[in-house]
Amino acid sequence: MNAPSPSDTSRRRPPAHGADMKLLGIYLNDHLAGATAGTLRSGYLARATRGSALGRAVAPVAAEIAQDRSALLSIMRDLGVPVRRYKVCAGWAGERLGRLKGNGRLIRRSPLTNVLELEGLRLGVEGKAAGWQTLRRLSTIDQRLDPGQLDVLLERARQQQKTLEEWRVREVETVLHPTNDQASGE
């Protein structure tokens, strides 16, 4: 097989003045799918734990995750990246299917559910932070991206990670580390 000609190779490289918009569009739509799932999942967790200390901690994070999804849509609009509805639908469907996981209970929420949902949200926020970091780097070559806005979004994601991790650890200790009374069967 022949090696690609220089013109073939150059089609895969980003233009000198900015990012490869086709690849950036795919990347941002993939993040939008994740943001859709994260918004739904965090809202569900906030509603399911309403009235508890966990619910009071997660509700503001869920609101911020929804705001972050809106910020991503705004950034995509500013860049002229069209929303791929099938990816949004995939994020929605994935979140709904995730609710079907076995948790040891048929009807009620298992205590383990909170642990797993917090872990999933923590991973999602970590991915979101990576996306903001990528866009922050691109802001040096694309003036349509606001570095100040991206810095704020990145810092907010870091705070969300911190909150979710703190509550994940608390839930793990509550659910998976039985007290002496529970361990002895009392």
Give pLDDT tens digits for 125-159.
999 999 999 999 999 999 999 999 999 999 999 99
Tokens of 108: 């009620």
Cα(168)–Cα(162) distance, rounded to whole angstroms? 10
pLDDT at position 83 is 81
The CATH number of the structural domain formed by 19-99+110-175 is: 1.20.1260
Could you tell me if 141 and 18 are in contact, meaning their C-beta atoms sit under 8 angstroms apart?
A: yes
Task: Tell me the domain boundaries of the chain.
Answer: 19-99+110-175
- What pTM did the predictor assign? 0.78
Could you tell me if 171 and 118 are in contact, meaning their C-beta atoms sit under 8 angstroms apart?
A: yes
Cα(53)–Cα(34) distance, rounded to whole angstroms? 26
